């Protein structure tokens, strides 16, 4: 981890902060899209070091947070079926659906196992061959390639008791939607490092041009984030919005062509419901017809039923960057990490959870 | 003699099979005269001082992990709970709840570890109990240990006693046990020097109390919830603000790397052989040097201080880059991240 330590050294972050302070001549609003950015900003206390004129807004970049309750309900329905084990990423298990969560279903006897990768779920399917294993396939471009690779592996190894509930999402469409919203005043975009590794820095060019948006692709260490913010501020100050790739050790302009190929081989775009943002055309991923046999919804006849967001929950406005968590009437009162009402409070990388864990504001 | 390879319901029935298990296995390794009397309870020698008592149950999964197993964990954990109030541990109980079909070889290994930990700490298991439940009604083996200790000093060592100006010391590297268990559960072979830190601390504690009596205000072993949650409890009980310096936290490079990989914060992971000492700052250096003379405290470090009064209690961390952030108590289980 020596390499990470260097990006956390005051010798590097100190000068970046000083330059940030010098460059800034007016208040700016910057959205950090990715939940991992949100967490890292809190974890390293970056907000406490930034000049006052910089307002950071958290975007819709936490896959757990944007998964609608109707999908969570479907995951729970799957777990309650006889002979089914839901093998899920740990982040999902406490997320409230319309009635309860996977954790509550597990307590009542449903089989829910935590896995760290979809390949682990496939391994479980191999071991428990008299059970059906259902993997809730949530995630963005970062996670979807490994899910696609797992489907291909399952096909090749002829494992017929492995299924997914496809709930993958792609990032450019919601960003386009948000930036076209006149209510939302954003000067700059801190683009997600991991997603960008797959889709490439060029994916943000249309946004930068169309909305005169200053963009920087950044990694997740403090020095990465500060370098990204500095680039955005400089672009704003110079009046020259563009896409600056500050994470070249991981991200290329074109992205990971092989991973993109995997996604396209197994999935095809569809309209998708985002918690808080509504239906966004072309922003979801469904299995290609060829792989329909892996679709748990079809094979196990699990319905997706429309749900209503919990009363008073402002996760939607928070995901859009319209308000900050403490502005939600439920925040810190009815909605806490121990008893989350909305998804932004559940996931480790949810904006509300990060605020609640790390910030002084209550 | 015919050896059975698994534990059966008969072994917990109180009949002949139980007696055989006791004499052939438990009494073979656990040698205290009080236990060998096989009475309904143990009668201890007279001791002068206040009596401290504690109990803890162990349900760790997996039962065997790098650096130890459930047996020594149960002994060291209970000894440490006594030591954290400045008590000298004098006797332990050992209660076993075993699932039918549990491997006799594993049971023997666990009891052997119990005996080794108890001998190393010089604290005897003086009484015990074994129950066997039908297959599926428990998960391998659960252990409960209670401990009795004697408090012979007059200092009030308690979570309520942290004072503005005090120094916060940790006896060694943090998160070793937690990351060992989490990575075992996740099936991630991290390797390197990652192993549980299970060990008893009462000798180290006795030396601190000998060296600087009453300068130690609080002692806690940061087990579940880790250093952050433990300090939050202390800050709240003592109504103070505690500030930690991230730069100063002793965390092994391999543990840090594993935490980054799985997405966990070492400040929230369990320790099973470390103690936090909050003491008078004037005596801090002396206490630190005393701790460092013990193998359990060789990497002891000053990691922060009590920086003010706070009615609700508060713990803040000064990050490596000089930022500030709050440390909240752990809520729910620590969840691995997905991206």
- Residue B129 pLDDT > 80: yes
* Closest-CA distance of chain A to residue B25, Å: 35
A-chain residues within 8 Å CB-CB of B188? 116
ipTM, two decimals, is: 0.77
Residues of B in contact with A338 (CB under 8 A): 331-332
The yes-or-no verdict on residue A356 having pLDDT over 90 is no
Report if residue A194 sits inside a domain. Answer: yes
Q: How distant is the Cα of B339 from the closest Cα of chain A, in angstroms?
A: 7
B337–A47 CB contact, under 8 Å: no
Q: What is the DSSP letter of B329?
A: P
- For residue A362, the model assigns a pLDDT of 37
For residue A92, which residues of chain B lie inside 8 Å, CB to CB? 338
For chain B, the average pLDDT equals: 93
| β-strand partners of B88 | B150
**Are A358 and B328 a contacting pair at CB < 8 A?**
yes
- Asked, for residue A129, whether it belongs to a domain, the answer is yes
- Same domain? A56 vs A117: no
Give me B179's structure tokens: 């990351």
Q: Sort B238 into a burial class: Cβ within 10 Å, 0-12 / 13-18 / 19+.
A: buried
Residue A361 reports pLDDT greater than 50: no
Q: Which of A45, A66, A112 to mutate against chain B (most B CBs within 10 Å)?
A: A45
Spatial CB neighbours of A178, under 8 Å, sequence gap ≥ 6: A31, A59, A60, A184, A186, A277, A320, A321
Answer yes or no: do A348 and B186 touch at CB < 8 A: no
In the predicted model, what is the mean pLDDT of residues A267-285?
Answer: 94
Could you give the domains of chain B? 9-151 (3.30.1330.10), 167-326 (3.90.650.10)
**The pLDDT of residue B105:** 96
Residue A16 falls inside a structural domain: yes
Does one domain contain both A228 and A141?
A: no
Residue A86: pLDDT band with limits 50, 70, 90: very high
Q: Is A104 within the bounds of a domain?
A: yes
Is the pLDDT assigned to residue B69 strictly greater than 50? Answer: yes
Chains A, B: CB pairs < 8 Å: 102
Q: Which of B192, B246, B325 to mutate to test the interface with A (most CBs of A within 10 A)?
A: B325
List, as ranges, residues 115-154 from A with C-beta within 8 Å of B. 116, 120, 138-140, 142-143
Q: How far apart are CA B303 and CA B291, in angstroms?
A: 14
Residues 6+ apart with CB under 8 A from A219: A7, A193, A225, A228, A246, A247, A249, A250
Query: Distance between CA B261 and CA A84 in Å, rounded?
Result: 29
Q: Flag the least confident range among A2-6, B173-177, B182-186, B204-208.
A: A2-6
Highest mean pLDDT among A1-5, A67-71, B111-115: B111-115
Residues 6+ apart with CB under 8 A from B191: B254
Asked if pLDDT for residue B134 goes beyond 90, the answer is: yes
Measured in angstroms, the CA of B44 and the nearest CA of chain A are apart by 43
For residues A108 and A74, state if they share a domain.
yes
Do B149 and B116 contact (CB within 8 A), yes or no?
no
Q: Do B256 and A1 touch (CB under 8 A)?
A: yes
pLDDT, tens digit (0-9, with 9 covering 90-100), for A223-269: 999 999 999 999 999 999 999 999 999 999 999 999 999 999 999 99
Q: Is residue A183 part of a domain?
A: yes
Domain span at residue A210 reads: 2-62+175-245
Is the CB of B339 less than 8 angstroms away from the CB of A194?
Answer: yes
Is residue A307 situated within a structural domain?
A: no
Judge whether A319 is closer than 8 Å to chain B, CB to CB: no
Q: Judge whether B8 and B17 are in contact, CB under 8 Å.
A: yes
Give chain B positions within 8 Å (CB) of A11. none
Chain A: nearest CA to B183, how far in angstroms? 11
Looking at the structure, tell me whether residues A144 and A70 fall in a common domain: yes
No. of H helices and E strands in chain B? 10, 13
Please indicate, yes or no, whether residues A140 and A259 belong to a single structural domain of this protein: yes
At residue A44, the pLDDT reads: 93
Residue A137 lies in a domain: yes
pLDDT at A341 over 50: yes
Distance separating alpha carbons of residues A208 and A201, to the nearest angstrom:
11
Q: Which residues of A touch B308 (CB under 8 A)?
A: none
Contact criterion met (CB below 8 Å) for B184 and B62: yes
Residues A233, A92 within the same domain: no
Residue A215's CATH number: 3.40.50.11750
> What does the pLDDT average to over A132-158?
97
Q: How far is B332 from chain A (nearest CA, A)?
A: 7
Please report the residues numbered 229 through 258 in chain A whose beta carbons come closer than 8 angstroms to any beta carbon of chain B.
Answer: none
Select the residue of A63, A194, A358 nearest B326 (Cβ to Cβ): A358
| Residue at token pair 């202390």 | B234
Q: Is B265 on the interface with A (CB under 8 A)?
A: yes
Contact B331 A338 (CB under 8 A): yes
């Amino acid at each position: 981890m020596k390499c990470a330590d260097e990006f956390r050294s005051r010798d590097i972050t100190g000068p970046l902060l000083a330059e940030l302070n010098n460059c800034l001549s007016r208040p700016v609003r910057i959205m950090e899209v990715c939940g991992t950015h949100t967490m890292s900003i809190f974890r390293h206390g970056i907000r406490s070091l930034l000049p006052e004129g910089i307002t950071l807004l958290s975007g819709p970049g936490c896959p757990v947070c944007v998964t609608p309750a109707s999908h969570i309900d479907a995951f729970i329905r799957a777990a309650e079926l006889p002979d089914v084990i839901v093998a899920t990423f740990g982040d999902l298990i406490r997320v409230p659906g319309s009635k309860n969560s996977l954790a509550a279903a597990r307590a009542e006897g449903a089989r829910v196992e935590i896995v760290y990768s979809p390949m682990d779920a496939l391994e479980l399917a191999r071991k428990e061959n008299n059970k059906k294993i259902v993997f809730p396939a949530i995630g963005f471009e970062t996670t979807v390639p490994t899910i696609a690779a797992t489907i291909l592996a399952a096909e090749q190894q002829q494992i017929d008791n492995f299924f997914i509930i496809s709930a993958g999402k792609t990032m450019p469409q919601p960003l386009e939607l948000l930036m076209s919203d006149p209510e939302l005043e954003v000067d700059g975009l801190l683009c997600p490092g991991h997603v960008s590794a797959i889709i490439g820095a060029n994916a943000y060019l249309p946004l930068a041009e169309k909305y005169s948006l200053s963009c920087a692709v950044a990694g997740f260490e403090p020095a990465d984030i500060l370098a990204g913010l500095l680039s955005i501020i400089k672009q704003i100050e110079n009046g020259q919005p563009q896409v600056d790739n500050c994470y070249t050790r991981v991200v290329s302009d074109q992205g990971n062509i092989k991973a993109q190929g995997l996604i396209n081989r197994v999935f095809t775009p569809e309209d998708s419901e985002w918690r808080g943002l509504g239906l966004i055309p072309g922003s979801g991923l469904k299995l290609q017809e060829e792989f329909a046999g892996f679709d748990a919804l079809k094979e196990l006849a699990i319905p997706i039923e429309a749900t209503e967001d919990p009363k008073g929950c402002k996760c939607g406005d928070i995901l859009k960057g319209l308000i900050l968590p403490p502005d939600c009437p439920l925040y810190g009162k009815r909605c806490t990490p121990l008893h989350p009402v909305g998804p932004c409070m559940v996931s480790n990388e949810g904006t509300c959870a990060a605020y609640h864990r790390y910030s002084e504001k209550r | 003699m015919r050896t059975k390879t698994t534990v059966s319901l008969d072994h917990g029935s109180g009949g002949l099979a139980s007696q055989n298990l006791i004499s052939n296995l438990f009494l073979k390794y656990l040698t205290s005269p009080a236990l060998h009397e096989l009475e309904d309870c143990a009668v201890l020698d007279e001791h002068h001082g206040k009596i401290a008592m504690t109990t803890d149950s162990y349900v760790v999964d997996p039962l065997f992990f790098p650096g130890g197993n459930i047996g020594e964990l149960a002994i060291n954990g209970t000894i440490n709970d006594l030591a954290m109030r400045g008590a000298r541990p004098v006797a332990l109980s050992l209660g076993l709840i075993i699932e039918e079909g549990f491997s006799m070889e594993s049971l023997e290994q666990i009891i052997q570890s119990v005996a080794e930990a108890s001998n190393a700490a010089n604290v005897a298991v003086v009484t015990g109990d074994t129950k066997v439940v039908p297959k599926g009604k428990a998960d391998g083996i659960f252990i409960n240990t209670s401990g009795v200790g004697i408090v012979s000093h007059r200092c009030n060592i308690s979570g309520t006693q942290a004072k503005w100006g005090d120094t916060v010391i940790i006896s060694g590297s943090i998160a070793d046990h937690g990351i060992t268990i989490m990575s075992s559960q996740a099936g991630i072979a991290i390797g390197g020097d990652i192993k549980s830190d299970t060990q008893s601390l009462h000798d180290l504690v006795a030396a601190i109390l000998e060296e600087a009596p009453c300068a130690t205000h609080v002692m806690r072993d940061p087990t579940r919830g880790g250093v952050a949650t433990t300090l939050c409890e202390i800050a709240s009980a003592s109504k103070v603000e505690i500030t930690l310096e991230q730069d100063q936290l002793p965390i092994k490079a391999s543990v840090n790397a594993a935490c980054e990989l799985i997405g966990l914060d070492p400040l929230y992971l369990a320790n099973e052989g470390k103690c936090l000492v909050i003491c008078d700052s004037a005596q801090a250096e002396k206490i630190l040097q005393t701790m460092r003379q013990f193998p359990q405290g060789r990497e002891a470090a000053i990691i922060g201080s009590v920086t003010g009064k706070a009615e609700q209690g508060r713990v803040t961390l000064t990050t490596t880059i000089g930022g500030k952030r709050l440390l909240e108590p752990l809520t729910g289980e620590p969840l691995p991240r997905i991206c």
